[in-house]
């Protein structure tokens, strides 16, 4: 079972290192479902499985086993690879206690099975139509925010329609869900500013060392880069006049990452300085 534990740990660390933080999310999808969910039972996956499935590169939150796909009248596409889901199984075993008497003790063992995202399947249109409600906001662009985004010098490429938000340094691409899937216009721009802030660290812009040194989730470089991005976002929200709607979310996020840097308060000050440079770059100052 050590291989299962190793796989789970590696999978989570890989996802976190690539910037996928599933709990930092202010958008939904066409199903209005935030967390990975089984299409048949309609129950959300729990515990470590949230991480294992949320890191997969799919927009759909729904998953099925190979057998469930067939039961729904569909099938898994040829060549698709499954994703592991783990659970605890308990069983009784007989042991001898100190008095020499036999007693029953419960033991727990980690087991796993494999699932497929509905995007890896075909023939599930009817099942998906039943859970789709297209709950979107009536998105109205905020002119002050649009001006900041569109006037950025040497901007990265934008890719809309993703199920996740992240900046990809090697391709210099900011990936975002469609704007009308966010909780509000303010959260859309707050997240956009966050990813634009990451892009300022690209070698063609400010060449920020914390962006490209291959830091690991939670280490000094990674933590500082996240602080820089969220501080920059908060500054830009202030410039656009929407900070009253976003500041609590930013403050909580910043607080979480700043804990990693408590051992050296100078790093927080340095992150704020880098954030100011990033904001100035985006604002063409």
| Rounded average pLDDT per 10-residue block, the chain, 285 residues | 53 53 52 75 83 80 95 96 86 74 76 93 92 74 95 95 84 90 88 95 91 54 82 87 72 61 64 88 93
Please report the pLDDT score of residue 216 as a whole number: 45
Can you read off the two tokens belonging to residue 277? 């440079």
Residue of 252, 28, 278, 23 whose CA lies nearest to 153: 278
Please report the pLDDT score of residue 71 as a whole number: 95
Please report the pLDDT score of residue 205 as a whole number: 96
Please report the pLDDT score of residue 248 as a whole number: 66
* Cα-based distances in Å from 150 to 50, 158, 175: 35, 11, 16
pTM: 0.60
Collect all residues with Cβ–Cβ distance below 8 Å to 223 and sequence separation of at least 6: 257, 258, 260, 261
């Amino acid at each position: 079972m050590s291989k299962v534990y190793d796989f789970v740990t590696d999978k989570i660390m890989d996802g976190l290192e690539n910037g996928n933080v599933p709990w930092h999310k202010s958008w939904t999808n066409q199903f209005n479902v935030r967390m990975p969910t089984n299409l048949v039972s309609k129950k959300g996956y729990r515990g470590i499985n949230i991480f294992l499935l949320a890191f997969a590169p799919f927009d759909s939150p729904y998953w099925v086993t190979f057998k469930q796909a067939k039961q729904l009248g569909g099938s898994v596409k040829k060549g698709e690879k499954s994703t592991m889901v783990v659970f605890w199984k308990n069983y009784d075993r007989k042991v001898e206690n100190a008095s020499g008497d036999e007693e029953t003790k419960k033991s727990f063992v980690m087991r796993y099975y494999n699932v497929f995202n509905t995007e890896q399947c075909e023939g599930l249109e009817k099942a998906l139509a039943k859970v789709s409600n297209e709950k979107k906001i009536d998105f109205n662009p905020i002119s002050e925010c649009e001006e900041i985004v569109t006037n950025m010098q040497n901007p990265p490429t934008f890719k809309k329609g993703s199920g996740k938000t992240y900046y990809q340094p090697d391709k210099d691409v900011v990936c975002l869900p469609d704007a009308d899937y966010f909780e509000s216009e303010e959260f859309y721009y707050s997240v956009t500013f966050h990813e634009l802030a990451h892009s300022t660290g690209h070698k063609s812009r400010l060449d920020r060392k914390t962006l490209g040194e291959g830091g690991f989730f939670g280490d000094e470089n990674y933590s500082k880069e996240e602080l820089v991005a969220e501080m920059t976002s908060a500054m830009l929200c202030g410039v656009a006049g929407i900070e009253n709607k976003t500041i609590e979310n930013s403050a909580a996020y910043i607080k979480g990452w700043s804990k990693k840097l408590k051992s050296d308060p100078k790093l927080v000050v340095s992150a704020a300085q880098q954030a100011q440079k990033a904001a100035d770059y985006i604002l063409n100052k």
